[in-house]
Structure 1
């Protein structure tokens, strides 16, 4: 096959492929399914997927949270922001006070969706400091002596190598 013929075949093939629409591109349409849960503290997380093809929602869907707590407390409407946890994940941040909440998340048209769940909000826990670091200001913590030991061994090895090379030099003379 000549070079010109190959070039024509490549150009025609590329043009035909450009005209064919990508199947997943138009499959992301219609309603969304929302999986809503508490985040273990005072927030809510939502996983949003398209109902038809089960792919995560990437962009273009506005989620809104409302909630009713014990004693008639309410929150919302609060727009939810996409989370850095991955595609299709949304978070509210700390918006619920401790207690039991009935939370509803909705998505308006053109991608309608709605989910309601009961969430138990709690006070956010803080991580305790690692053991043995209280009052320790060095970055290496309680293992700083290992650096000193390693340095001492290195110095001894260097001195031994120098002494051995001098001994060999005297033996040759």
Structure 2
């Protein structure tokens, strides 16, 4: 029976791959968003991963919308990274004075949603750049890695490194098992 060794090799290969894939999913499959408040009309949001509560420092695509008690609506405005505060995002636009129902949504790197009511006082603008954002002629997205001055490849942790090593090892084992099975089938 050639089926039994083939099934055993396949089971061994799958067992080798599964533990290597587990650390890659350690963050979870959704982003937790927390509207933490506002400063001079700029709403701040902290984005963390659902399972381990690490700050979201990957490329980020999030928006903010708000509706006032008097019916005014603003947004959606793009959320941009705050320099020196990993996982913290704000808007370039000012939220006018009033009582607001704020909604933040994230579409990438994973889905996230949050809502909160905020009271915004009339802003006294002395620095037009919100929470340390650079003022530029044309707004450009600022990633957390770019904002902190560290290259994106340095944001990996030990779990990610070991997951990559485990995945590479599993791939080598799968190829070796395939060659071994082919050789046994011929011989």
Relative to the length of structure 1, the TM-score reads 0.55
1:71 maps to 70
* Number of aligned residues: 108
1:115 maps to 114
**Aligned in 2, Cα 1:56/1:67: closer, same or farther, shift over 3 Å?**
same
Higher CA-based Rg? 1
Distance (whole Å) between structure 2 residues aligned to residue 26 and residue 79 of structure 1: 27
Q: 5 Å matches for 1:20-169?
A: 26-108=25-107, 111-125=110-124
The alpha carbon displacement at 1:118 in A equals: 0.5
Q: Matched residue of 2:117: which SS?
A: strand
**Aligned in 2, Cα 1:109/1:84: closer, same or farther, shift over 3 Å?**
closer
Distance (whole Å) between structure 1 residues aligned to residue 80 and residue 39 of structure 2: 18
Deviations 1:138-164 (A, max 9, x none): xxxxxxxxxxxxxxxxxxxxxxxxxxx
Q: Which runs of 5+ in 2 are unaligned?
A: 1-18, 127-187
Q: Is the 8 A contact 2:80 2:92 kept in 1?
A: no
Q: Which runs of 5+ in 1 are unaligned?
A: 1-19, 128-173
The alpha carbon displacement at 1:75 in A equals: 0.7
- Alpha-carbon RMSD across the aligned residues, in angstroms, is 2.4
Distance (whole Å) between structure 2 residues aligned to residue 91 and residue 112 of structure 1: 17
Q: Is the 8 A contact 1:44 1:93 kept in 2?
A: no
**Aligned in 2, Cα 1:123/1:24: closer, same or farther, shift over 3 Å?**
farther
Relative to the length of structure 2, the TM-score reads 0.51
Q: Matched residue of 1:60: which SS?
A: coil
The alpha carbon displacement at 1:61 in A equals: 2.6
**Aligned in 2, Cα 1:126/1:41: closer, same or farther, shift over 3 Å?**
closer
Higher relative contact order (CA 8 A, sep 6+): 2
Deviations 1:3-46 (A, max 9, x none): xxxxxxxxxxxxxxxxx969865423410111103323211000
Q: Matched residue of 1:123: which SS?
A: coil
Structure 1 residue ranges (4+ consecutive) displaced by more than 4 angstroms after TM superposition: 20-26
Distance (whole Å) between structure 2 residues aligned to residue 90 and residue 109 of structure 1: 13
The alpha carbon displacement at 1:124 in A equals: 2.4
